[in-house]
Chain A
């Protein structure tokens, strides 16, 4: 289900992308997605202003910023989830593998871009049926049991549930449910996995487990994560974008952003002076 050709372009597309010397930059890596000149509105109110950035392939990109800065809104445009709200309006271009996602069929797109939500939301079905859901609706011809096992292993949940696959998903703990949601998203082999504050409803131990997971998962898929926890962003991500009031203030490799931020507002946020 993965695109076979590697993305061919590597473009420095944003004016505020900093390029430190000697370190990995998004400019040098292949990009899975590119976002350019994106403006977003709920009715008359503008939420995102002139957003432009690249999502590096097989890396973790974090979106951070204070509440209300638009990071979740931006994340949700990437799989066109904003379209569930009637009054939303998107201008600009978002490319996946070079093709504008706004011009494609949304159902097909959403199979290629997966999402994990803020609070665990397993379906009212068994553990097995939760993971198999995406496979079934897409008419998967292979072995459901094998793929379900593979996904649960990728989500580090297999050992805990392998003997209880037919139990209801609601019998799992919060952290387990969230890993189940990750497995469910992984089952359809998405090219990009969007995670919207996936640990904010979880206890520290579950959070640590999922952070470990993310580092491994980037071998499988590209990850974009929204988090209000800066330390988490520093721990797990390769690139970080700092948003404030609907604009990208700074976007650079994570170590650089957190140690030597270029913009004073970034510095103020990460040192805890606001947000």
Chain B
């Protein structure tokens, strides 16, 4: 073998090994994050964390019960707002629309998808906070709901379209009207894909902080109803992390672990169990 060839083969093996290093380092980051959260936050997770309200500044102890409930409330309302719009809009694109309208709607959805979440927060602020002159849970839900629309819409459209023609034609041949066909045959055939997409969208907005900063804002106490400022897990993490108190740092780690755990579990479930056999929508 000539020297030159030996050098080329060395370079080849070296560079390919380097790409392997890049790949493993990237994946290792995930485990590093998880590990650190478990290490730092694991010990702080206790019953108090889930059930107690935050203590006054400077006092140790307390928990994040209000934030957990608040996140739950807001996410529920956000889903109720965003999912129907995305789902029914997706049905329109897949089943009823002409080419022109379809491209407009798709373009709008793609545009919305790319908007930074803080800008969505500004929008929700000007539409829901400003007129009513106070922060509220439904303002936060509005912001997060908007963020759920594009993924839900595109996935619904894709999965409905991928239902085999045979199924549709079978139903219609039996005399079913279009909407009956959709409701009883097509949607059930596509529901797993759509559900996966909705769960992934939910996981994504569950972790969002920026759009909540000036919509739901935050609350040291429980918030009743929907029109009060509401504490949420991500915002609490942020507030505690940048504070000067060690105890709050400790709680931030714990909250981070809970939040990440939730997000990852939803992701893993959606990506493995629910979606066996078809491709995941890439956001």
- Per-residue 0/1 for B1-39: is the Cβ within 8 Å of any A Cβ (1 yes, 0 no)? 100110011000000000000000000000000000000
A107: interface (CB < 8 Å):
yes
Could you tell me the distance in whole angstroms from the C-beta of B243 to the nearest C-beta in chain A? 54
Q: Give complex CA distance A108, B3 in Å.
A: 12
Minimum distance in angstroms from B98 CB to a CB of chain A: 35
Total contacts A-B at CB 8 Å = 11
Contact in complex: A139, B4 (CB < 8 Å): yes
Residue of B whose beta carbon sits closest to that of A137? B8
* B1:A105 contact, CB within 8 angstroms: yes
Task: Give A139 to B3 CA distance when docked, in angstroms.
Answer: 11
Cβ-defined contact, A105 with B5, below 8 A:
yes
Least distance between B2 CB and chain A CB atoms (Å): 8
Taking CB atoms, residues of chain B closer than 8 Å to A137 are 8
**In the complex, chain A residues whose CB is within 8 Å of the CB of B9:** 105, 107
- Interface residues in B159-187 (C-beta closer than 8 Å to A): none
CB distance from B13 to the nearest CB of A (A): 12
Interface string of A97-126 (1 = CB under 8 A from B): 000000001011000000000000000000
* Residue ID in chain B nearest A138 by CB atoms: B4
Prevailing SS type, chain B contact patch: helix
Minimum distance in angstroms from A147 CB to a CB of chain B: 18
Closest to B4 in A: A139
Please indicate the chain A residues that have their CB under 8 angstroms from the CB of B8 in the complex: 107, 137
Q: Which residues A139-181 have CB closer than 8 A to chain B?
A: 139
For B5, give the chain A residue with the smallest CB separation.
Answer: A108
**Residues of B with C-beta under 8 A to A105:** 1, 5, 9
Q: How far is the CA of A107 from the CA of B6 in the complex (A)?
A: 10
The CA-CA distance from A137 to B5 in the complex, in Å, is: 10
Measured between alpha carbons, how far is A107 from B9 in the docked complex, in Å? 9
Q: Are the CB atoms of A108 and B4 closer together than 8 Å?
A: no
CB-nearest residue of chain B relative to A105?
Answer: B1
- A residues 63-106 in Cβ contact with B at 8 Å: 105
Shortest Cβ distance from A195 into chain B, in angstroms?
26
Residues of chain A with a CB closer than 8 A to B5's CB: 105, 107-108
Collect the chain B residues with CB atoms within 8 Å of residue A107's CB: 5, 8-9
Interface string of A191-207 (1 = CB under 8 A from B): 00000000000000000
When distances are taken between beta carbons in the complex, the residues of chain B under 8 Å from A108 are: 1, 5
Question: How far is B7's CA from A139's CA once the two chains are assembled, in angstroms?
Answer: 12
How far apart are the CA atoms of A77 and B148 in the complex, in Å? 53
A104 to chain B, nearest CB (A): 9
Bound CA span A108–B4, Å: 11
- The CA of A107 and the CA of B7, in the complex, are separated in Å by 12
Rounded to whole angstroms, the CA-CA distance of A107 and B12 in the bound complex is: 11
What separation, in Å, do the CA atoms of A123 and B90 have in the docked complex? 41
Query: In the complex, what distance in Å separates the CA atom of A106 from the CA atom of B5?
Result: 11
Give A141 Cβ to nearest chain B Cβ, in Å. 11
Q: How far is the CA of A105 from the CA of B10 in the complex (A)?
A: 13
**CB within 8 Å of A: which B60-117 residues:** none
Q: How far is the CA of A69 from the CA of B4 in the complex (A)?
A: 40
In the bound complex, CA of A138 to CA of B5 (Å)? 8
A139–B9 alpha-carbon span in the complex (Å) = 14
Query: Chain A's nearest CB lies how many Å from the CB of B157?
Result: 33
A105 vs B12: C-alpha distance when bound (angstroms): 14
A37, B59: Cα distance in complex, Å = 84
Min CB–CB distance A112 → chain B (angstroms): 12
Q: What is the chain B residue whose CB lies nearest that of A139?
A: B4
* Bound Cα distance A123, B8 (Å): 20
Which chain B residues border A139 with CB–CB below 8 Å?
4
Q: Chain A contacts of B1 at CB under 8 A? A: 105, 108
Contacts of A138 in B (CB 8 A): 4
Whole-angstrom distance between the alpha carbons of A105 and B2 in the complex?
A: 11
A96 to B116, CA, bound (A): 62
Task: Output the least CB separation between B4 and chain A (Å).
Answer: 5
User: When chains A and B are docked, how far (Å) is the Cα of A105 from the Cα of B4?
Assistant: 13
Bound form: Cα–Cα A139–B11 in Å: 15
CB distance from B236 to the nearest CB of A (A): 50
CB distance from B87 to the nearest CB of A (A): 42
Q: Complex Cα distance A139/B5, Å?
A: 9
Q: Tell me the complex Cα distance, A107–B8, Å.
A: 10
Contacts of B4 in A (CB 8 A): 138-139
Near B by CB (< 8 A), chain A positions 220-272 give: none
Complex CA–CA separation, A139 to B4 (angstroms): 8
Q: Give the docked Cα–Cα distance between A194 and B29 (Å).
A: 47
The distance in angstroms between the C-alpha atoms of A105 and B6, with both chains bound, is: 10
Interface contacts beyond A105-B9, A107-B5: sample of 9 additional A-B pairs, CB < 8 Å, sorted by A = A105-B1, A105-B5, A107-B8, A107-B9, A108-B1, A108-B5, A137-B8, A138-B4, A139-B4
9 A-B residue pairings within 8 Å (CB atoms): A105-B1, A105-B5, A105-B9, A107-B5, A107-B9, A108-B1, A108-B5, A137-B8, A138-B4
* B interface residues with partner A (beta carbon < 8 Å): 1, 4-5, 8-9
User: Taking beta carbons and an 8 Å cutoff, which residues of A are in contact with B?
Assistant: 105, 107-108, 137-139
Q: Can you list the 3 inter-chain pairs with the closest CB atoms, starting with the nearest?
A: A139-B4, A105-B1, A108-B5
